[in-house]
Amino acid sequence: MYKADQVSVIIPTVAEQRRFEALQRCVASIRGSSNSRCLIIAVVNGSRSTPEVVEWLRKQRDVKLIMEKTPSAPNAVRIGREAVETPYFSTLDDDDEYLAGSTDRKMQTLLANPDADLVVTNGLNNWGGKEALHYSQLFRVPEDPLGTLFDSNWLASCNALYRSDRVTPVYFQNFHPFAEWTWLAFRLGLDGKKIAVLDEPCFRYNQTPQSLSQSTSYQEAYPSLFARMLASQPPLRIRKLIQRRLSAALHDRSVALLQKGDRAAALTAHLRSLLLPGGSRYLTYTRRLIPGWPQS
């Protein structure tokens, strides 16, 4: 077993009263994820915190509390990463959980794979008490991190353990709002970081209607994300994959704009999607954007 205080876990949190129970569950799950003590870095961000919740965090002997005025989860993770002083670190949203023994299993995987810069794991999606395995093709990631990223994002806020000296704070700077984990995975893959896989449940991701991943802002982040990826000059094979995903994202954006009644903006997004690889699949959608065009 590795020594205590080798792993830091960063929790970005707004520390609201309505999330207090979930936050306590989150902290308890970190403690139950290892037989060694983990250091918890709780970054309370924004102005919605409740004094009772903040005071509870302050009293926890294994929690380092950081207060940050900017209301941003990815910025809070960046601040937490800069505060890491241990050889390994991970992250966890305040409404999610680590499963029992999961940090120890992740650590064992990294120790068995000294070339790996990080390990990613599988987990459970919990929606209204119904659970399902999060990933189905995780085993493919080590051989093709960039390619598999465009099938399913293999990096999340709750599924990785990193070596601190190899995944440095710079990777958490210049994050992409609402799609920060996809952007981080892309940067790690582009830099050739070695990824180990532990294809077994190590986390529980508790989805709710209030989750950021269910928000309109989250969905709208992807066209700009894919444009940013293309600007990074990835290999040609990856560039074509990104262009297809950008076409799909622009189509989804067009549909959302049309539903809001903004036909002109919807048409602009649609025309942009048609000009990209794979865009021809959306040709029949054109009729919905032109007044008087038969809809069937």
CATH code for the domain in which residue 73 is found: 3.90.550.10
Where a domain ends, among 214, 249, 278?
214
Q: Per the domain annotation, does 296 fall within a domain?
A: no
Each residue of 239-293: pLDDT tens digit?
999 999 999 999 999 999 999 999 999 999 999 999 999 999 999 999 999 886 6
**What does the CA dihedral 54, 96, 88, 186 come to, rounded to 10 degrees?**
-120
Confidence of residue 221 (pLDDT cuts 50, 70, 90): confident
Distance CA 133, CA 126 (A): 9
Residues 194 and 263 grouped into a single domain: no
In this prediction, residues 32-60 reach a mean pLDDT of: 98
Indicate if 258 and 146 belong to the same structural domain.
no
Q: What is the pLDDT of residues 50-61, one digit of tens each?
A: 999 999 999 999
Beta bridge partners of 214: none
**Chain centroid offset of residue 162 CA:** 14
Query: Is 139 a residue whose pLDDT tops 80?
Result: yes
End residue of a domain, out of 165, 183, 214: 214
- Of 167, 199, 214, which residue constitutes the final position of a domain? 214
When pLDDT is cut at 50, 70 and 90, the band that residue 129 belongs to is confident
In the chain, % of residues over pLDDT 90 = 89
> Based on the domain organization, do 205 and 235 belong to the same domain?
no
Q: What are the structure tokens assigned to 250, written together?
A: 């622009």
Say whether both 12 and 156 belong to one domain.
yes
Q: Is residue 226 part of a domain?
A: yes
Confidence (pTM): 0.92
**In a shared domain, residues 244 and 256:** yes
Give the number of other CB atoms < 10 A from CB of residue 258.
18
Confidence band (pLDDT; 50, 70, 90) for 1?
low
pLDDT of residue 213: 52
DSSP output for 95-163: T-EEPTTHHHHHHHHHHH-TT-SEEEEEEEEEETTEEEES-S-GGGGGG-HHHHHTTS----TTSEEEE
Domain total for the chain? 2
First to last CA, the chain: 65
**pLDDT value at residue 211:** 57
At residue 96, does pLDDT exceed 60?
A: yes
The pLDDT value given to residue 2: 73
Of 118-122, 142-146, 241-245, 292-296, least confident by mean pLDDT is 292-296
Same domain, 171 and 71: yes
* Residue 126 within a domain: yes
pLDDT per position as a tens digit, 103-116: 999 999 999 999 99
Is the pLDDT reported for residue 27 higher than 90? yes
Same domain, 150 and 270: no
The residue range of the domain holding 154 is 7-214
Q: What's the chain's average pLDDT?
A: 94
Q: How confident is the model at residue 216 (pLDDT cuts 50, 70, 90)?
A: low
Indicate if 244 and 110 belong to the same structural domain: no
- If you average pLDDT over residues 18-42, what whole number do you get? 97
Is the per-residue pLDDT at 35 higher than 60? yes
Residues 196 and 64 occupy one common structural domain: yes
Asked whether residue 2 is assigned to any structural domain, the reply reads no
124 and 147 co-located in one domain: yes
